[in-house]
Amino acid sequence: MREKITYVLAAIVGALLVSNLYTILLGLPDEANQGAIYRIFFFHFPSAITSGLCAFLSLVGSLMYLYRRNLWWDAFAVSATELTLTFGAIVLMTGMIWARIIWGIWWAWDARLTSTLVSWLAYASYLIFRRAIEEPTARARFSAVISIFTFPGVIISWKSIEWWRTQHPGPVISIRGGGGMAPGMEAAAYWNLLPLAVLALILISIRLRQENAQRLLDGFRRQAHEI
Amino acid sequence: MDSRNFTYMFYGFAAAWAVLVIYVITLVSREKKIHQEMDRLKKLIEEGSRK
């Protein structure tokens, strides 16, 4: 039943992504100043929100692990962290490609870019450190602490374009007081956020199942070793 | 449409999709490894308990 729901959701996500791609590439006009390259925003912005959402889920999983001491929450946190990194990589890469055309450079050490990169590296270190610790409860406790201390970096990255005015554009979406986009264009960004966020949730659930299977596997390994 | 602008837009879209596809491939390969290891260990335990 659970697998069927996953397949149905994945099919809906696929259909929405294809329909959105059609709208983004053929339905919307070029932007007056940026031309075609502004369309990268329709992946950059939803991926940033999705990555932030996954980081929040990782924080919830980490806090719940420390509160309940149940390894399921640790598995949930690591699954969400992997998706934070995946969507974070999309944000960084699409941003750099956009910057190459609009700014003429691939990278600038401004507040938004630097804080995003630092947060991404901190979440990457979370996964690297996990591999170094064998004992599951020590690994879970250590990972939870890293995740909790890394999350403020996501908030700093989110608010950085309001706190400091540097190279990265200020808020453009209307709910953040930007108003720099035509309503049709902004709606397309939200429509692409929906399938990407649902896709992240689907991938977290698959990854979570794998993490729990891995724990079962460790139990089998111990059993086989005793025999 | 500026052709350079369009090319980089394509790079951006391709990068986004490539990251997602690579992640999904790692998930699938991890799933395969878990199943293979599970089957191997189950057989090992069954054989061990028979002895």
Residue A97: CATH number of its domain: 1.20.120
Q: Which chain B residues are Cβ-neighbours of A97 within 8 angstroms?
A: 8, 11-12, 15
Question: Cα angle vertex A89, ends A85, A94, to 5°?
Answer: 155
Q: What is the pLDDT of residue B47?
A: 84
Out of A30, A97, A223, the one facing B45 most closely (by C-beta) is A223
Whole-angstrom distance, CA of residue A47 vs CA of residue A42: 9
- Residue boundaries of the structural domains of chain B: 20-51
Tokens of A95: 């941003």
Let me know if residue A224 belongs to a domain. Answer: no
In the predicted structure, residue B1 carries a pLDDT above the cut 50? no
Per DSSP, the residues of chain A read -HHHHHHHHHHHHHHHHHHHHHIIIIISPPBTTTBGGGGGHHHHHHHHHHHHHHHHHHHHHHHHHHHH--HHHHHHHHHHHHHHHHHHHHHHHHHHHHHHHHTSSS----HHHHHHHHHHHHHHHHHHHHHH--SHHHHHHHHHHHHHHHHHHHHHHHHHHHH--SSS----SGGGT---S-HHHHHHHHHHHHHHHHHHHHHHHHHHHHHHHHHHHHHHHHHHHH-
For A37, name the nearest residue in chain B, comparing CA atoms only.
B9
ipTM comes to 0.90
Mean per-residue pLDDT, B3-7: 84
CB contact under 8 A, B5 and A98: no
Let me know if residue A207 belongs to a domain. Answer: yes
> Could you give the C-alpha distances from A22 to A39, A64, A188, A196, in angstroms and in order?
12, 41, 11, 16
CB contact under 8 A, A94 and B12: yes
Name the DSSP letter for residue B51: -
In the predicted structure, residue B2 carries a pLDDT above the cut 80? no
Closest approach of chain B CAs to the CA of A20, in angstroms? Answer: 13
Closest approach of chain B CAs to the CA of A203, in angstroms? Answer: 8
Contact of B50 with chain A, judged by CB distance below 8 Å, is answered with: no
Let me know if residue A136 belongs to a domain. Answer: yes
Q: What is the pLDDT of residue A179?
A: 67
> Could you give the C-alpha distances from A196 to A68, A78, A126, A177, B3, in angstroms and in order?
30, 19, 23, 24, 28
Domain that holds residue A57: 2-215
CB contact under 8 A, B34 and A224: no
Q: How many domains does the structure of chain A reveal?
A: 1
Let me know if residue A192 belongs to a domain. Answer: yes
Out of B8, B20, B41, the one facing A101 most closely (by C-beta) is B8
Q: What is the pLDDT of residue A141?
A: 96
Asked if A178 and A171 count as a contact pair (C-beta separation under 8 A), the reply is yes
**pLDDT (tens digit per residue) in B16-48:** 999 999 999 999 999 999 999 989 988 888 888
Q: What is the pLDDT of residue A31?
A: 87
Let me know if residue A61 belongs to a domain. Answer: yes
Tokens of A219: 């139990």
Residues in A lying within 8 Å of B, measured between beta carbons: 30, 34-37, 39-40, 43-44, 47, 82, 86, 89-90, 93-94, 97-98, 100-101, 199, 203, 206-207, 210, 213-214, 216-217, 220-221, 223-224, 227
Let me know if residue A223 belongs to a domain. Answer: no
Which B residues, 3 through 42, put their C-beta within 8 Å of a C-beta on chain A?
A: 4-6, 8-9, 11-13, 15-16, 19-20, 23-24, 27, 30-31, 34, 37-38, 41-42
Choice between B3 and B47, residue whose per-residue pLDDT is larger: B47
Tokens of B45: 């335990």
Query: pLDDT tens, position by position, for chain A (227 residues)?
Result: 888 999 999 999 999 999 999 999 999 998 888 889 999 999 999 999 999 999 999 999 999 999 999 999 999 999 999 999 999 999 999 999 999 999 999 999 999 999 999 999 999 999 999 999 988 899 999 999 999 999 999 999 999 999 988 889 888 887 777 767 787 888 999 999 999 999 999 999 999 999 999 888 888 888 777 77
Q: Which chain A residues are Cβ-neighbours of B37 within 8 angstroms?
A: 217
Tokens of A218: 């460790």
